[in-house]
Amino acid sequence: MNTKYNSYAPVTLALPSKGALAQPTLNFLQDCGLAVWKPNPRQYTGNIPAVEHLDVMFQRVKDVVYKVADGSAQLGITGLDVVREYADENVMVIHNDLNYGHCQLVVAVPEAWVDVENIADLADVALDIREEQHRDLRIATTYTTSSRRFLHENGIHHFSLVKADGAIEAAPTLGYADAVIDLTQTGTTLRENRLKMLEDGTIITSQACLIANQQALEQHPQLMRVVKILLEYIDGALNGKRYYQLSANAAAESQEQIIALLSKYHVTADAHGVSVVPASQDGNRYTLTLSVLKRDMLAVVEYIRQLGGNQITVQPVRFVFLDESPTYSQLKTKLQPAQPDPTPDR
Partner 1 sequence: MAAKSIMMAAFNSPIIHRLQVVVTKTQQTFIYESDELTALVSTLHQHMKYYGYQNVQLPALADVEIFRGRAGDQVIANLVTVSHFGRQLALRPEFTALAAHRYTKLYGDQRKTVRWQFNGSVFRETAHQANQQMSLGAELIGLGVSLADAEIVSMAVLGLSKALDMTNLRIEIGHIGLIRNCLSQFQLDKRTERFLLGHLSELAYDKLSPDELINHFEVMMTAGQDKASPEQSSPRPDDIAQEARHMLDIMLDATRSGATMGGRTRENVVRRMLQKRQRLAEIGRFKEAVHYLYQLTHISDQPNEAFAEIRRLVSEDNSAAQQDLQEWQSIIELVIAYGVDEGHISIDPGLLRDWNYYTGIVFNIDSSNGIRLGGGGRYDELIEFVGGNEHVPAVGFGYYVDAIMECKEPSSSPKIDTSILFLTWDEHVEPVLIVQWSKMLRDAGMNVFIQRDSITSDVPNHNHLHLTVDGQIRYQQQSYTFNDLTALIEGIAAQ
DSSP letter for each residue of 111-160: TT-TT--SHHHHHHHHHHHHHHHSSPEEEEES-HHHHHHHHHHTT--SEE
Collapsing DSSP states into helix, strand and coil, what is residue 189?
helix
Binding residue for partner 1 (CB under 8 A) from 38, 53, 158, 272? Answer: 158
Q: Is 127 in the site for partner 1 (CB under 8 A)?
A: yes
Q: Would you count residue 193 as binding partner 1 (CB under 8 A)?
A: yes
Does 52 contact partner 1 by CB under 8 A? no
Beta-carbon-side half-sphere exposure of residue 213 (alpha carbons within 13 Å): 26
- Closer residue to partner 1 (CB): 194 or 264: 194
β-pair partners for 292: 244
Alpha helices in the chain (DSSP H): 22-31, 61-69, 80-86, 119-133, 144-153, 171-174, 188-192, 214-219, 221-240, 255-264, 266-269, 297-306, 326-334
Q: Which residue's CB is nearer to partner 1, number 99 or number 173? A: 173
Residue 14 lies near partner 1 (rule: CB under 8 A): no
Query: If binding means CB under 8 A, how many residues of this protein chain bind partner 1?
Result: 45
Is residue 342 within 8 Å of 225, Cβ to Cβ?
yes
Residue 338 DSSP symbol: P
Strand arrangement of the beta sheet that strand 272-278 belongs to: 272-278, 285-293, 243-251, 310-316
Specify the stretch interacting with partner 1 by CB under 8 A; choose among 12-20, 188-196, 259-267, 315-323.
188-196
Q: Which stretch binds partner 1 (CB under 8 A): 22-30, 194-202, 311-319, 320-328?
A: 194-202
Count of beta carbons in the 10 Å neighbourhood of residue 134: 7
Residues 71-100: x where in contact with partner 1 by CB under 8 A, - otherwise, as a string: -----------------x------------
Site membership for partner 1, residue 125 (CB under 8 A): yes
| 155 lies in the site for partner 1, by CB under 8 A | yes
Residue 24: asked if its preceding bond is cis (omega within 30°), the reply is no
Q: Closest approach of Cβ 326 to partner 1, in Å?
A: 30
- Considering only residues 109, 190, 224, 231, which one is a binding residue for partner 1 as defined by CB under 8 A? 109
Minimum CB–partner distance for residue 181 and partner 1 (Å): 13
Among 18, 194, 264, 295, binds partner 1 (CB under 8 A): 194
Out of 178, 232, 235, 296, the only residue in the binding site for partner 1 (CB under 8 A) is: 178
Applying CB under 8 A, does 280 fall inside the site for partner 1?
no
8 A C-beta contact, residue 168 and residue 180: yes
Question: Taking a C-beta distance cutoff of 8 angstroms, is the pair 76, 14 a contact?
Answer: yes
Which region, judged by CB under 8 A, interacts with partner 1, from 41-49, 99-107, 156-164, 237-245?
156-164
Q: Is 60 in the site for partner 1 (CB under 8 A)?
A: no
Residues 6+ apart with CB under 8 A from 254: none
Asked if 44 interacts with partner 1 (CB under 8 A), we say no
The Cα-based distances of 324 to 54, 253, 315 in angstroms read 21, 36, 24
Minimum Å distance from CB 294 to partner 1?
37
Shortest Å distance, C-beta 88 to partner 1: 7
Looking at the Cβ atoms of 126 and 320, the one nearer to partner 1 is: 126
Judged by DSSP in three states, 81 sits in helix
Nearest to 49 by CA among 37, 39, 65: 37
Task: Please report, as ranges, the residues that interact with partner 1 according to CB under 8 A.
Answer: 62, 66, 69-70, 88, 109-115, 117-118, 120-121, 124-125, 127-129, 132-133, 135, 138, 144-145, 149, 152-153, 155, 157-158, 160, 172-173, 175, 177-179, 193-195, 199-200
